[in-house]
């Protein structure tokens, strides 16, 4: 991947992160908490993909993105370790939200996931210069 492609792909992922964050906020306002939790995860996930793509890394899975985020951004001190915890928790909750028909989320659950995702998206934007 060329440096220009990496920048463009990272920018596309950040756009997607912001859209997912906005969707999560709308869904939470409408009391669609499971869907809000899922979209909050995707906001964080797309922000992490943007960071990784900016380095030329293309994770092949959600788990791979988590691992590479840890290796390239958390262990190096570029981002606070709480963002890794946020992403791991959000990933776990997203699976429950998407596949666990009996899994219930409350307003606070959705709000917590949205706050964590927003903080991760903001941290990614800062590192990417925008």
Q: What percent of the chain has pLDDT over 90?
A: 87
Choose among 92, 86, 104: nearest CA to 21. 86
Q: What is the pLDDT of residue 6?
A: 76
Class of domain 3-128: mainly alpha
Whether 8 and 81 have beta carbons less than 8 Å apart is answered as no
Report the pLDDT averaged over residues 108-121.
97
- Classify residue 83 by burial, with Cβ atoms within 10 Å: 0-12, 13-18, 19+: buried
Q: What is the pLDDT of residue 2?
A: 75
CA distance 37 to 106: 10
What mean pLDDT value characterizes the chain?
Answer: 94
pLDDT band, very low/low/confident/very high, at 1 (cuts 50, 70, 90): low
Report the pLDDT averaged over residues 28-46.
97
What tens digit of pLDDT does each residue of 38-65 get? 999 999 999 999 999 999 999 989 999 9
| Torsion sign, CA atoms 62, 64, 66, 72 | negative
pLDDT band, very low/low/confident/very high, at 17 (cuts 50, 70, 90): very high
Q: Where are the domains of the chain?
A: 3-128
pTM of the model: 0.94
């Amino acid at each position: 991947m060329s440096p220009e492609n990496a920048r463009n792909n990272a920018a596309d992922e950040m756009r997607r992160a912001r859209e997912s964050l906005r969707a999560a906020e709308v869904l939470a306002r409408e009391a669609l908490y499971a869907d809000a939790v899922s979209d909050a995860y995707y906001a964080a996930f797309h922000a992490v993909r943007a960071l990784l793509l900016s380095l030329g890394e293309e994770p092949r899975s959600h788990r791979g993105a988590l691992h590479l985020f840890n290796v390239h951004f958390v262990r190096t001190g570029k981002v606070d370790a709480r963002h890794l915890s946020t992403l791991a928790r959000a990933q776990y909750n997203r699976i429950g939200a998407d596949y666990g028909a009996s899994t219930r989320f409350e307003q606070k659950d959705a709000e917590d996931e949205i706050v964590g995702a927003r903080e991760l998206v903001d941290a990614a934007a800062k590192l990417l210069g925008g």
